[in-house]
Copies of this chain bind each other. A is one copy, B any other.
Amino acid sequence: MPHSPEEKKKVLARVKRIRGQCDALERALEAGADCNPVLQQIAAIRGAVNGLMSEVMEAHLREEFGQPARSEAQRTARVTEMSALIRSYLK
């Protein structure tokens, strides 16, 4: 998950970007960069990781709720699962 090719592509592109940011941070640290720009790079990575988490949750939402539920039980199960994801990761 996410299963559709476009969702997967978007999410993978974000992961690759975060790895690129880690590479740049490693080079900055090796080169003895100052504390301030290093912290800025780390804050940018933190923002990118939050964006990735949001993207995965949104993809899950689209995939789960983009089609009508086949039954009342399935609808309830979807809502319960999505609710648990929000509770776990919204912090």
Q: Which residues of A contact B (CB under 8 A)?
A: 1-3, 8, 11-12, 15-16, 18-19, 22-23, 25-26, 29-30, 32-36, 38-39, 42-43, 45-47, 49-50, 52-54, 56-58, 60-62, 65-66, 68-69, 75-76, 78-79, 82-83, 85-91
Say how far A19's CB is from chain B's closest CB, in angstroms: 5
Cβ–Cβ contact B83 & A35, under 8 A = no
When chains A and B are docked, how far (Å) is the Cα of A71 from the Cα of B84?
26
Cβ–Cβ contact A69 & B66, under 8 A = no
Residues on the B chain within 8 Å of A76, using CB: 66
Q: Considering the complex of A and B, which 4 residue pairs feature the smallest CB-CB distances, nearest first? A: A1-B35, A58-B83, A50-B91, A19-B22
Residues on the B chain within 8 Å of A19, using CB: 19, 22-23, 26
Residues on the B chain within 8 Å of A43, using CB: 53, 88-89
